[in-house]
Homo-oligomer: A and B are copies of this chain.
Amino acid sequence: MSMSSNPSDNIPDIVIGRLPVYLRALNRLSQEGHEVTSSHELGRRLGISSAQIRKDLSHFGGFGKQGTGYQIAYLEEKLRQVLKVTQDWEVALVGAGDLGSALAHYRGFSNRGFHITCVFDNDPTKIGQPVGDFVIQPMNELYNTVHNRQIQLAMIAVPAEYAQQVADQLIEAGVRAILNYAPISINVPNNVHVQYIDPVVHMQRMTYYLDTQNTPLSLK
């Protein structure tokens, strides 16, 4: 019973989805010099009820102590174990346009355990060009590179019309989790996970709540 993070426990996806947010808040708390925290403090920072935080964490074991709260360093370590981010992960990037290049240069990945170690594009003028510490490879090298290195994570940063076929190729090569920046939904088998980042979708989720007013735009 001391085993934590047993996938057979069938933890709801929605709970897993919150854990990275908790982890991020804990990182910050320890950066700020704190050593202990409570579900109440975390909840206040995150805008989540303290009961929910306690319940979420209790799925994986009792990490806190009554009367005291949670030892931040300890809880961070435990959450990293649950999320499997104690190890580093290699990530394949497909698409070396504006967005892909920005992702390749983004400094926020490596210090949190994700390393883009190969970049693919189908544009002949880009192939061979350096991006970050690597060289852009042609698409026909995708299978071998990803398969041989057993890369399980990929980011898609190609136009929408290519996203599905890129996803198919990645999955065939062994990728099991995709962060999709292309503005389109993709179909994948049940054992493959997808997360979507489309800024416009995120914006459209908020405009519903705003006041309509004819902002006079001098835009062509």
Contacts and interface: CB of A to CB of B under 8 A. Distances in A.
How many residues of A sit at the interface, in one of the four size bands?
A: 35 or more
Which of A46, A99, A203 has the most chain B CB atoms closer than 10 A to its own CB?
A: A203
A126 B90 CA distance: 34
A150 B210 CA distance: 12
Contacts of A160: 28
A82 B204 contact: no
Interface in A87-113: 87-91, 98-99, 102-103, 105-106, 108-110, 112
Which of A46, A183, A197, A207 has the most chain B CB atoms closer than 10 A to its own CB?
A: A207
A65 interface: no
SS of A interface (majority): mixed
Interface in A170-220: 176-177, 179, 183-185, 187, 193, 195, 197-215, 217, 219
Nearest to A103: B199
Interface in A136-176: 149-153, 155, 160, 176
Interface stretch (A13-21, A33-41, A49-57, A70-78): A13-21
Nearest to A20: B204
